[in-house]
Amino acid sequence: MNWRASARVADYGVHKFAASRVDWHTIREDFPILREQAHGHPLIYFDSAATSQKPRAVIDALRNFYEHNNANVHRGLHTLSSRATEAYEQARQRVAEYIGAASAQEIIFTRGTTESVNLVAQTWGEKFVRKGDVILLTVMEHHSNLVPWQLLAERTGARLRFVPVLDDGTLDLDQLPSLLTPEVKLFAFTHISNSLGTINPVAELCAKARAVGALTLVDAAQSVGHMPLDVQELGCDFLAFSGHKMCGPTGIGALYGRAEILDSMPPWHGGGEMIVSVTVENSTFKKAPHRFEAGTPNIAGAIGLAAAIDYIESIGRSAILEHDSELARYAAERLTALPGTRIFGPRAERGALVGFVMDAAHPHDLTTFADQYGLAMRGGHHCNQPLMRRFGVSGTTRASFYFYNMMEEIDRMMEILHAAVRFFS
């Protein structure tokens, strides 16, 4: 197998693909909120790319922690503190296993993807990026993987470059040789576009970056809960993600960084938890990951995230990928057939979402209308303004899916969209 073929295996998880025998209707019962109604209609939750819903197992894990184990971590010698510390560090281990990190020391708990990217920009970036260096991004980046680099460029005099996006929503990789030059210190890009659903060839991009001596940062916010993913197979140096898009609580996420790089980075926030010893003049700092976790961390959040990982793994990420892909493929097909509708993103493999615009109604009118029928979608620029500009629209309507969604819900969405066409035209 050549490296390109193995990259495809890592990117799409095809080697772990298994025929799905999951009873998705039963799985759906694990999510209490999906029994809610909105405006007198059964809720159809098609906004999981913004945040996913939470299974009872995660809700129970949070409750269980607060009812039985709550204490601060790493500092108390009492029973509860030991339990809390153990659970928190076990959660780190669980995250490491989940994404294929070599060790738990490579996992820093953060508030989510945004904080993870900012951590890299403000620690690694401040130390290693100089005037004239280049940070390579893509036009499809979420603002969270764009603005931190703009701020770094302002502070350091570094330059930003962007890989263009083709009409079909994929990256224009023909441009890569002229963009990915030795001045590039970091190539930061998304795994799955939150507006287009494009699945980028991460392993291939990482290999090319490595060849010119650039580090890589992968924004895995839209992929980590949806497909098998292994940081060592992908070959990335950093990987950022949020817990709340993968069945976990809000306010918790992680940054993976290769150990040798993390240890070379200066601390970020100063405070308790991250020091070895402190005098009034100065301090010495712990090694990664604790060096980057100043203050009392989101203990319950980390434990909830571990519970979310256990839950996802009990279903299997290959099965989830298969189910989500079917939903996205079916939705794209049905939307393409709807007159006066333009869908965005690749025709082939796509993440669990479809962005579209309709001649009949503006995304905000459409999402307001749909909400009246219990259908939750997102309308707007999806924190992707440069990408919206690239496609000449101010925003799109996005239907995004997760494994608790059903084909029947897409049929219902289409009925509602037909009603919207009749209403607005």
Which residues form the interface with other proteins (CB under 8 A)? 39-40, 361-365, 368-369, 372, 380-381, 388, 394-395, 423-424
Residue 254 in 3-state DSSP? strand
Whether the CB-CB separation of 95 and 305 falls below 8 Å is answered with yes
CB nearer to other proteins: pick between 286 and 362: 362
Whichever of 49 and 234 has its CB closer to other proteins, that residue is 49
**Helices assigned H by DSSP within 279-316:** 299-315
Task: For the CB of residue 409, give the shortest distance to other proteins in the complex, in Å.
Answer: 19
Q: Closer to other proteins at the Cβ: 285 or 369? A: 369
Beta-strand pair 134-138/159-163 = parallel
- Smallest gap from Cβ 168 to other proteins, in A, equals 23
The residues carrying an active-site annotation are 383
Provide the minimum distance between the beta carbon of 351 and other proteins in the complex, in angstroms, as a whole number: 23
The answer to whether the beta carbons of residues 126 and 285 sit under 8 Å apart is no
Closest residue by Cα to residue 246 from 130, 132, 324: 324
Residue 390, token pair as written in the block: 């690239």
Q: Which one, 66 or 423, has the nearer CB to other proteins?
A: 423
Which pair of tokens denotes residue 3? 């490296």
Nearer residue to other proteins within complex by CB, 349 or 365: 365
To other proteins, the closest distance from the beta carbon of 418 in angstroms equals 13
d(CA 69, CA 21): 36
Compute the distance between CA of residue 249 and CA of residue 243 in angstroms, rounded to an integer.
6
Three-class secondary structure of residue 89 per DSSP = helix
Quote the tokens at residue 87.
């659970």
Shorter beta-carbon distance to other proteins: residue 87 or 370: 370
Q: CB atoms < 10 A from the CB of 343, how many?
A: 21
Within 10 angstroms of residue 33's Cβ, the number of other Cβ atoms is: 12
Q: Least separation, in Å, of the C-beta of 415 and other proteins?
A: 13
Q: How far is the CB of 360 from other proteins (least distance, A)?
A: 10
- H/E stretch holding 370 reads helix 363-371
